[in-house]
Every structure is written in structure tokens, then in C-alpha cells.
Chains A and B, each alone.
Chain A
Amino acid sequence: QLQLQESGPGLVKPSETLSLTCTVSGASIRTRDCFWGWIRQPPGKALEWIGTIYYNGDTYYNPSLKSRVTVSIDTSKNQFSLKLSSVTAADTAVYYCARVRQKTKSGGEDYWGQGTLVTVSS
């Protein structure tokens, strides 16, 4: 059974960099069948797509965050990561990692981590 688990600091100071890692178990991250993505949800608000990465390192970012976001992949550890720089209180959210199926085959995020709350505060 595929599982994803987010890890990283729950508190980040304003202007610093938020760093999260998603560990995938139950399947290899080195697959051509899907992408791996990050989505966030501010408390009480809707979901926001951050970006995705393919096994070969190709990345796709939300333009609204592109200047601050880096998603990377480590196939040797079966992990992918998110870095968001220059954070402000508006970046406070539950951050989810997810498997993203290719849209021509089905599409949609079918497996999700439980999410991790990251609070930006001094």
C-alpha cells in the first residue's frame, strides 16, 4: 500500500525558508506513471496547488509562488522535497504531499500524506 509522509519543522520565522520532505513507501518514486506534488491549505481555507515534480527532475510550479519555490527529488531515498523561501504569515498552512496521476491516464491526486501544519511566526 502506497503511503506518503511529510516531515519538517512546524514553526518557521518570517523571511526564512520553509523546508519539508515527503517520504514515499510502498512504491518506487522512480516511476514514469505519475508525478509527485505539494498542495497547501491555510487554516479554514481552500486548497492551493504549489507544484509537482517528475522522476527525472522536471518541475512545474504555481506562477504565484514560482519565484520562491523549489521542489526536488531524491530517488535514492524515495523522497521529494519542498523549499519555500522568504516566508510570511500568509504561508501558514497545512502542507500536503501527494501522488499526482498523469492526466491523460486519469489524473487527480490519489494518494496523500496526512499533512503537516507549518506556522510562520517569530
Chain B
Amino acid sequence: DIVMTQSPDFLPVSLGERATINCKSSQRVLDTSNNKNYLAWYQQKPGQPPKLLIYWASVRESGVPDRFSGSGSGTDFTLTITGLQAEDVAIYYCQQYYSIPDSFGQGTKLEIK
């Protein structure tokens, strides 16, 4: 099974500043046949289901603000939120869907400093 490890577990950031969340997979999640990384990012607010933000490591889901961006390839990935807004307070999860079982990171709790 592919293990996903996020860092940090807890991230305090001031309003308007940049938040950076890292995700590392125990195996490559890159499909060399199409050069796609099967890596997604989700945002989860209290009492709500997760919301898909990014797929293929860097493609923003329709309707997601452009202050959210994803990067990385192979085993190392990053979610960046530029110009943090109060509504971005949430837990963020990365997920690999390269091989079964799909697996999620442990989550990063983002809060306002």
C-alpha cells in the first residue's frame, strides 16, 4: 500500500499570507504512459464532507479559487494557498489514486495566526 505523509500537522498562517502544505508518497504516483500524477487535494471544514480542490497534482477543480495551486511530481507534492482568507480555515488532505487502495494523508489543520 502507498503511504501518504503530510507536513506539517498544524499550520498557523496570518491572513493574506501564503500557506504551504507538503505531501509525500511512499511510492511514485506518476503514470509514465500519460505523465499524470494521480494525486488529489481536498479541503474539509467541520461537519462537512471533503471538497475536491486539485486533481492530477496541479489541475484546479472547476470553481476553486485561483489562490489554490498544486505542484510536484513523483513522490513529493505541495498545496499552496496564496493570500490566505478566513474561509480557508480547514483541514487539508492529499490523496493518491495511483494504486488500490486509494490512500489519504493524515491531514493538515490550517488556522489563522
Contacts and interface: CB of A to CB of B under 8 A. Distances in A.
Interface of A: 46-49, 60-64, 96, 98, 101, 103-104, 106-110, 112-115
A108 B49 contact: no
B68 interface: no
A101 B55 CA distance: 10
Interface string B35-61: 010101010000011111001100101
Contacts, number: 62
Contact of B56 (A47, A64, A106, A113): A106
B78 interface: no
B107 to A, nearest CB: 5
A108 B104 CA distance: 11
Contacts of A112: 49-51
Say what secondary structure dominates the interface of chain A. Answer: loop
Contact of B104 (A47, A63, A104, A106): A47
B104 A114 contact: no
Contacts of B7: none
Given A103-B97, A108-B95, A46 B52 contact: no
B66 interface: no
A110 B30 CA distance: 21
Contacts of B50: 47, 96, 109, 112
A116 B59 CA distance: 30
Contacts of A110: 52, 61
Given A47-B104, A49-B102, A113 B49 contact: yes
Given A98-B49, A107-B40, A109-B50, 8 more contacts: A46-B106, A46-B107, A47-B95, A47-B104, A104-B36, A106-B55, A108-B55, A114-B48
